[in-house]
Each structure stands twice: as structure tokens, then as C-alpha cells.
Amino acid sequence: MPTQIERYIPPSFNKSILYTILIPEIIDGWDNDIKSYINAITKFEIECEKSLIDLFRQIGIQASVKTDRYSLPYKYEVIGEIEGSVYINHAFNLNNIASVFVKDLLEKNVTKIRFYLTVDVITEDESKRKGYNGKVVYKFRYMVHF
């Protein structure tokens, strides 16, 4: 049961797809470094987890997140990706990806979980073409809780 967190760190922070999560950090005095990026993405992950807990509650799934989020040894991982688009916030709208996680839980008839969510903002593709809008990769990791 893995517990290690590995993050994709963008090679530069000047890509438009990053602005959605970085704007609050920029307003608060952005340092343009890896630590500030990780703080920004962690805040976004926590907001998403809160939204998922509320969504799961509405459909009868009891969900919780550990205080030390990444220490949870997960058994299941569901990965969802949203391609970047001209509408810059599209890839960061949790509603566009939550159905992937809900579907997995409902198919397994899960009613109680502990989970965490990691988010990687991919800013370059393999070809490093300039017109690439990026993508956001959501990794929903959980354990069935009894």
C-alpha cells in the first residue's frame, strides 16, 4: 500500500493554465518558487477534498480525510484528466471530474472511505509545442473504511 507522494513540478510558472491556482499566491506575495507552487496546489487540493466530502455525503457515502493527508496508505487510485482549454478555469472545475470518482465508488458499492486527492498541473507535452494548453491530472486515492 503506497503512501509516497510524487508531484509533477512545472519547469516554469509562467504558463496560463497555472494562473487559476497561483493568483491567490501572487496577490499574497508570490515568491515564484517551488515551495510557493506546492503551497498553492495543496490549498487547491484541500478545497477539492472539502467539496468531494460534501458531494459524497449527499449520495450516502461517508468520507473523511486524515489530518496528515498523505500518510494514508491507499488501496485504490482513480485518475482523471482534464485538458486545458481557452476557458482557463475549465480544468480546475471539480464538477468536470468528480463523476469519475463517484462512478468508481458506486460500482464498488462503497459506503465509507478515507481519501486524499493530489493534483498535477502538466504544462508541457512531450513535443513541447507552444500551443499546448496543458492538462490537470487528478489522482483520487482512497481506502475503504469499515
**What average pLDDT does the segment 139-145 reach?**
93
Which pLDDT band holds residue 4 (cuts at 50, 70, 90)? low
How large is the C-alpha radius of gyration of the chain?
16
Going by C-beta distance under 8 Å and a sequence separation of 6 or more, which residues neighbour residue 56? Answer: 62, 63, 102, 105, 113
Q: Which of the residue ranges 58-62, 96-100, 114-118, 131-135 would you say has the lowest mean pLDDT?
A: 131-135
**Highest mean pLDDT: which range of 12-21, 69-78, 100-109:** 100-109
Contacts 24+ apart (CB under 8 A), 78-82: 78/104, 78/139, 78/140, 79/137, 79/138, 79/139, 79/140, 80/137, 80/138, 80/140, 81/135, 81/136, 81/137, 81/138, 82/135, 82/136, 82/138
Predicted TM-score (pTM) of this structure:
0.88
